[in-house]
A = this chain, B = another copy of it.
Amino acid sequence: MEKQSVGIGLIGLGIVASQVARVLTEKANLLAEQAGCPVVLRKIKVLPQDMSRPQVAEMDAALFTTDDDQFFNTPGIDIIVEAIGGEQPALEYLRRALSGGRYVVTSNKEVVAKHAAELLSLARENGVELRCEASVGGGIPLISPFQHDLVANEIKGIYAIINGTTNYILTRMDKDGLDFASALGQAQQLGYAEADPTNDVEGIDAVYKLAILASLAFKCQVRPDDIYREGISRLSARDFRYAREFGFAIKLLAIAKQSDGSLEVRVHPVFLPQDSFLAKVDGVYNAVLAEGDLVGKVILLGEGAGPLPTSSAVVADVVQAAIDVRRGTDGVGHWRIAGDVALKPMAQVETRYYFRLSTADTAGVLAQIAQVLGDHKISISSAIQKEADSATQAAEIVLMTHPAPESAAQKALAGLERLSVVREVSNLIRVED
């Protein structure tokens, strides 16, 4: 089935889609060499309001359509590239593309995270492939290493900084001593955070990406709802100061790891030792550490989002899909989801903990606190008690514990909050050594 050219249909005309169209056009010669035949953009599906965008005026008007049927019925479209984001109508478009025997390339983390299993079996039934390198970590090779380079490995764990917005905010809180609100404001001013930052700061975006990475690495279905999630909005500048005193950095980490025959999947702030590599990943950079039985630790790192890096990944997928179009595919060597996996309930997850408490400034407070932790079999590894603040008459006590199950930590937390000498448990952060 040698072809003279491979045809592309593009859905969307946002910043990523526009950049993809630009690369497909401006780098046509390079891409033809890489794909083994010309890769031709044949149709772009846009919304009516997109037709007034400047990008439209720059391109051949015949390329554009606002009509779904016209788009899907365009002759010679082998690969459909979806870059609109969000669950719907993207999901319907992908279903329609795959059912019609089109290869699909998408940068849409939400739809892949939620519907990978369905979309992959639809691809298989129709003899095509779904590729989504751009859905996690922009241009950093994060999907393909699990599909190619690490296939001989049993993956032990994935530890990822995969949200540039939160990593930028945490870096500013750490380096400049800002509180969360100020750092968020700065990120918004710079365009790193959206007006409504919920998806980023509450860890929802990281959950989508972890669902994809975990499904891929562990060949099982991990749904966003399976993943324990906690955002960064409760962190304060004080937590960063204490973290430094104990030799740690604070990062929002996405973790998927094998643990006693089940899988732990969780996204939350963590204390990371300052000398670990992930602790040194600052600003909008993303990084994924994968640990395999053969390869040991491998870290893949780069600038995360942004239209240029994302287009790098989308177009790389297009080239691979174009090679598949020419050669045919049998789905081998791609993403296989073998079924569900036993997930470890969060209550059974074991880590060390950092507690920060605001207490009354009286004698015996630390003894009472230690008693509550001891009642739940949590032992303290070190403690800092700061001199009392004379204005508020409150003292601050910070504890680092030895490993204990989450259930014990939560019970201890409730117990501490019931103590009359404890004004507030200001934070509880897990430690990943």
> Residues of A with Cβ closer than 8 Å to B?
23, 27, 30-31, 33-36, 133, 138-141, 144-145, 148-154, 277, 280, 292-303, 306, 308-309, 311-313, 315-316, 319-320, 323, 326-328, 330, 332-333, 336
Residues on B with beta carbons closer than 8 Å to the beta carbon of A323: 332-333
Residues on B with beta carbons closer than 8 Å to the beta carbon of A294: 23, 139, 308-309, 311-312, 315
- Return 12 A-B CB contacts under 8 Å, by A number: A34-B152, A139-B294, A141-B144, A141-B145, A141-B150, A144-B149, A152-B311, A294-B309, A294-B315, A296-B306, A323-B333, A327-B328
Query: Whole-angstrom distance between the alpha carbons of A330 and B35 in the complex?
Result: 11
Q: Could you say which of B141, B148, B299, B319 contacts A152, with CB atoms under 8 Å apart? A: B319
Whether the pair A35, B333 counts as a contact (CB closer than 8 A) is yes
Residues on B with beta carbons closer than 8 Å to the beta carbon of A277: 280, 301
Copies of this chain in its oligomeric complex: 2
Query: Whole-angstrom distance between the alpha carbons of A27 and B300 in the complex?
Result: 25
Whether the pair A149, B316 counts as a contact (CB closer than 8 A) is yes
Q: Could you say which of B298, B327, B333 contacts A139, with CB atoms under 8 Å apart? A: B298
Whether the pair A34, B144 counts as a contact (CB closer than 8 A) is no
Residue in B closest to A290 when the chains form the complex, CB atoms: B302
Question: A144-B144, A152-B27 given as contacts; is B292 within 8 A of A297 (CB)?
Answer: no
Residue in B closest to A152 when the chains form the complex, CB atoms: B315
Query: Whole-angstrom distance between the alpha carbons of A312 and B319 in the complex?
Result: 26
Residue in B closest to A36 when the chains form the complex, CB atoms: B332
Main secondary structure of the interface of A (DSSP, over half): mixed
Whether the pair B23, A152 counts as a contact (CB closer than 8 A) is yes
Residues on B with beta carbons closer than 8 Å to the beta carbon of A301: 277, 298-301
Question: A296-B302, A311-B294 given as contacts; is B30 within 8 A of A152 (CB)?
Answer: yes
Whether the pair B297, A303 counts as a contact (CB closer than 8 A) is yes
Residues on B with beta carbons closer than 8 Å to the beta carbon of A300: 141, 298-301
Query: Whole-angstrom distance between the alpha carbons of A339 and B153 in the complex?
Result: 36
> Nearest 4 CB-CB pairs, A to B?
A36-B332, A139-B295, A152-B315, A141-B149
CB distance from A303 to the nearest CB of B (A): 5
CB distance from A58 to the nearest CB of B (A): 19
Question: A133-B149, A333-B34 given as contacts; is B320 within 8 A of A296 (CB)?
Answer: no
Whether the pair A295, B309 counts as a contact (CB closer than 8 A) is yes
Whether the pair A312, B152 counts as a contact (CB closer than 8 A) is yes
CB distance from A324 to the nearest CB of B (A): 10
Whether the pair B36, A333 counts as a contact (CB closer than 8 A) is yes
Residues on B with beta carbons closer than 8 Å to the beta carbon of A295: 138-140, 302-303, 308-309, 312-313
Residues on B with beta carbons closer than 8 Å to the beta carbon of A152: 23, 27, 30-31, 34, 311-312, 315-316, 319
Query: Whole-angstrom distance between the alpha carbons of A318 and B72 in the complex?
Result: 38
Residue in B closest to A34 when the chains form the complex, CB atoms: B151
Q: Could you say which of B153, B313, B332 contacts A149, with CB atoms under 8 Å apart? A: B313
Residues on B with beta carbons closer than 8 Å to the beta carbon of A316: 148-152
Query: Whole-angstrom distance between the alpha carbons of A153 and B293 in the complex?
Result: 32
Query: Whole-angstrom distance between the alpha carbons of A283 and B412 in the complex?
Result: 40
Residues on B with beta carbons closer than 8 Å to the beta carbon of A299: 299-302
Residue in B closest to A141 when the chains form the complex, CB atoms: B149
Residues on B with beta carbons closer than 8 Å to the beta carbon of A23: 152, 294
